[in-house]
Amino acid sequence: MTRFLMLRRSVSISASVHSSASIPVFTTIKDYRLWRNEAFESKKSVGFVPTMGALHDGHLSLVKRSLSENDLTVVSIFVNPSQFAPHEDLATYPRTLPQDLILLSALEYQPANPPNAPRTPSAVFLPSVKDMYPSGISQDVSQQKGTFVEVKGYGEQMEGLSRPTFFRGVATIVTKLFNIIQPTNAYFGQKDIQQALLLRRLVGDLHFSHPTHDNLHIIPTARNAANGLALSSRNIYLTPCERRLAPTLYAALQDAGQVWAAGASKQEAVRRALDRLGAAKDEGAKDGIEIRVDYVEMNDPDTFEVLGDGQVQRSDGAPVILSGAAWFGRTRLIDNVILGNLEGIVAK
Ligand code: PAF
């Protein structure tokens, strides 16, 4: 890492630049805040994409959206311990910082109406665990000390059933990040739909101004163009054989959505998805791969409650989340499709 100073007026802001990439990296909250104050003073909008690194095209699509809608764009990279349960993959979660910085440095957005200069990501925020958790952080909730954020009543369904401490960890770290980054707009992927909707509720409930509820944007899931597999940092865990079968999750949800749209009951639609996954399970078993379905469900996007057959209306176009989670070997994948009217949920 080489050190450089960005000097403007009387303020000197220190960021570092990785040797193989040209993007400034802030590793302290103090330095980032000096930079952010300048952006406030010059009335520049700041778009924010929080990540845990191991960037792929899904993250890059969020960054591109931010570049197109904001004067400045900040990406955070922080593998957040509190959202991993003790038995989960914190230790092995992919960490690919040099490659992440190269990918970000290569992005450019040319605003319409030249002579506007092309926009590139403005900064990466790369905090330490110590700065984010001054009291330390245990993955065991009963041992944790300090301040945590819980969105009661919305983190126990869907993903929260299988990962009971996940949303507490996410809500806590994203609250901290929003307080530091002070974004005008923030961008999340639809793949983690419950996370994104829960965070939208959090910023509304706590009356955040940066970002506001309406400025937390959910961007459609980026997929492998050939087979529809949702892009995820955890896809790198998949063996070639698992990777071949993993797109079945999305295919199963699509099948369910189609039969439901054609008039099948909710139960029938879910059964269709489970049958498709069952066929993949049989195929995987021949190669010694275990596929285990965690859930396939239809939930209300406001309450996350499971929808009963009678509650799922096709006619009024009210949106429904059809989502699923399944293990392909040792890798747990999630995906979703939204049925009905997307307006107000996912950005176009
Ligand atoms: O979606 C993720 O990558 C993480 O949950 C997030 C939002 C960066 C918080 O750690």
Token pair belonging to 94: 């992919």
Q: Which of 192, 219, 246 is the last residue of a domain?
A: 219
Asked whether 159 lines ligand 1 (CB < 6 A), one says: no
Q: Verify that 174 and 253 share a domain, yes or no.
A: no
Residue nearest to atom 5 of ligand 1 (CA): 170
The answer to whether residue 228 is domain-embedded is: no
Distance 16 CA to ligand 1 centre (A): 23
Q: Is 173 in the pocket of ligand 1 (CB under 6 A)?
A: yes
Sheet containing 331-339, strands listed edge to edge, beginning at the edge strand earlier in sequence: 291-299, 320-328, 331-339
Residue pLDDT, tens place only, 43-88: 999 999 999 999 999 999 999 999 999 999 999 999 999 999 999 9
List the one residue out of 104, 111, 99 whose CA is nearest residue 22.
104
Residues linked to residue 218 through DSSP beta bridges, in sequence order? 188
* Contact (CB, 8 A) for 203 and 213: yes
**Which residue's CA is the nearest one to ligand 1's atom 1?**
51
Q: Are strands 123-125 and 72-77 parallel, antiparallel or unpaired?
A: parallel
Integer CA distances (angstroms), 118 to 110, 232, 302, in order: 4, 28, 38
**Does residue 225 lie within any of the structural domains?**
no
The burial of 68, by beta-carbon neighbours within 10 Å (0-12 exposed, 13-18 middle, 19 or more buried), is given as middle
Query: Which of 114-123, 271-280, 308-317 has the least mean pLDDT?
Result: 308-317
Does 127 contact ligand 1 (Cβ within 6 A)? no
205 and 241 together in one domain: no
Could you tell me if 41 and 180 lie in one domain? yes
Residue 57 lies in a domain: yes
347 in a domain, yes or no? no
Tell me, yes or no, whether 130 and 263 share the same domain. Answer: no
Task: Among 166, 196, 219, identify where a domain stops.
Answer: 219
* Interior angle at CA 252, CA 286 and CA 302, nearest 5: 140
**Which sign does the torsion angle of CA 94, 96, 97, 100 carry?**
negative
Q: Please choose from 55, 74, 83 the residue to mutate so as to test ligand 1's pocket, defined by most ligand atoms within 8 A of CB.
A: 83
Judgement on whether residues 60 and 208 belong to the same structural domain of the protein: yes
CA-nearest residue, atom 8 of ligand 1: 51
Retrieve residue 6's tokens.
Answer: 């960005």
Judge if the beta carbon of residue 337 lies within 6 A of ligand 1.
no
312 lines ligand 1 (CB under 6 A): no
Q: Are residues 204 and 281 in the same domain?
A: no
Q: Which of 18-22, 240-244, 315-319 ranks highest by mean pLDDT?
A: 240-244
Residue 136 lies in a domain: yes
Residues 100 and 60 in one domain: yes
Q: Are residues 126 and 97 in the same domain?
A: yes
For residue 346, is it within any domain? no
Q: Which residues are catalytic?
A: 59
pLDDT range class, residue 8, cuts 50, 70, 90? very low
Q: What is the pTM of this model?
A: 0.94
Is 143 in contact with 176 (CB distance < 8 Å)?
no
The total domain count for the chain is 2
Residue 274 pLDDT > 50: yes
Calculate how far, in angstroms, residue 54's C-alpha sits from the geometric centre of ligand 1.
12
CATH number at residue 331: 3.30.1300.10
DSSP strand pairing (11-17 vs 2-8): antiparallel
Which range marks the domain in which residue 40 is found? 2-219
Per-residue model confidence as pLDDT tens digits over 201-244: 999 999 999 999 999 999 999 999 999 999 999 999 999 999 99
Q: Which of 171, 188, 219 is the last residue of a domain?
A: 219
For residue 211, the domain's CATH number is: 3.40.50.620
- Strand ranges across the sheet with 185-189: 2-8, 11-17, 24-26, 123-125, 72-77, 46-51, 185-189, 216-219
User: pLDDT over 70 for what percent of the chain?
Assistant: 93
Nearest residue by C-alpha to atom 9 in ligand 1: 170
* Structure tokens, 68: 């197109």
3-state secondary structure of 297: strand
211: which DSSP letter?
S
